[in-house]
Amino acid sequence: MKDFSIDIYADGAVVSEMVAAKEKGIVKGFTTNPTLMKRAGITDYVGFAKEALEKVSGLPISFEVFSDDFDTMKKEAEKIASLGKNVFVKIPITNTKGESSVPLIKELSDEGIQVNVTAILTIEQVEEVLPAFKQGSDNIVSVFAGRVADTGVDPTELMKKSVELVKANGNAKLLWASCREVLNIKQADDLGVDIITVTTPVLNKLHMIGTDAKELSLETVKGFAADVKSLGFSIL
């Protein structure tokens, strides 16, 4: 597999998959979110977080707050942060009312909490949040490039500008979120993005990097043939 400068983080909430990703030696950290936790059937947030931290000890991991009001969000963030030094607390850039989370992010950063600002989709949001980070602190700015691409817009210009802003600020790393395919890793790496989050299905495709196209074509045809055989019927 090609060596990338970008750090690959595994995105998920299944502890066994997180352990498997760590054992492969490819990933440098982990991210979770409420949607992934729901999909994984998590019923005990703190229990899940503690187990994950124990199993992937030493690597950075992001856990997201659940609340939609800022006062409760702050209490949740402080509790999550207390679970370990390698924990980053994910705070969405706004709540569901569209109210900016930047004042809360500033409070948390001033307290020494490592923040992962999530659900960012515009350059204006990147510009808005960077000044909130305490000087010399360690944070993550997660730009959902994959969701931008889902709207039919090429996210590379957004990510290029974000790289410039984040590097100039010096108190955060830029994360390409919502990776859809292996190509996104190369795109993010070429642009100088610091981190990309990758789900298990994409992680499982990393072995394909550098595969000869002719060989892949033959493999594809063989796959079709195997499926034809399993169907057990014919056209004629």
Instruction: Give pLDDT tens digits for 216-233.
Output: 999 999 999 999 999 999
- Does the active-site annotation cover 24? no
d(CA 188, CA 84): 29
pLDDT digits (tens, 9 = 90+) for 24-62: 999 999 999 999 999 999 999 999 999 999 999 889 999
| Beta-ladder partners of 118 | 92
| Beta-ladder partners of 62 | 31, 88
Indicate the angle between helix axes 70-81 and 102-110, nearest 10 degrees.
30
Exactly one of 22, 75, 85, 90 is catalytic; name it. 90
pLDDT digits (tens, 9 = 90+) for 60-102: 999 999 999 999 999 999 999 999 999 999 999 999 999 999 9
Structure tokens at 137: 């602190």
